[in-house]
Amino acid sequence: MTKLAKEIPVHLACPACGKTQRVKLKWARNHKSLKCKDCRKAIDLRAPQAKSLIARTAQAVATFERPGGAAGRGQAGRQGQEGGQESQEAGQEEGR
């Protein structure tokens, strides 16, 4: 697990009071429950809603960690734009 995945927060709603609790993804994956800071009741991290949210957060992080993921596409797009600007500038110089 990379540093990005360890530091990403997961926002879980307390089923008792509805307040949002924030925990790190790595912590949420390695624990079974969380105590709500507002009402002090336990939030079951194995419940279907919590498991789904943790899994979706992990999946989103994984797309940014892959070489061809969303972050990789952003870099390629910028390089393509820069290359286009250079060729336009070269064409303008030739026309002078």
17-54 pLDDT, tens per residue?
A: 999 999 999 999 999 999 999 999 999 999 999 999 99
* Alpha helices (H) in the chain, listed in sequence order: 3-7, 25-30, 48-65, 70-95
Q: What is the pTM of this model?
A: 0.63
The residues facing 23 across adjacent strands are: 10
Q: Is 50 exceeded by the pLDDT of residue 75?
A: no
Both structure tokens of 12: 């879980």
* pLDDT band, very low/low/confident/very high, at 68 (cuts 50, 70, 90): low
Question: What pLDDT score does 34 carry?
Answer: 94
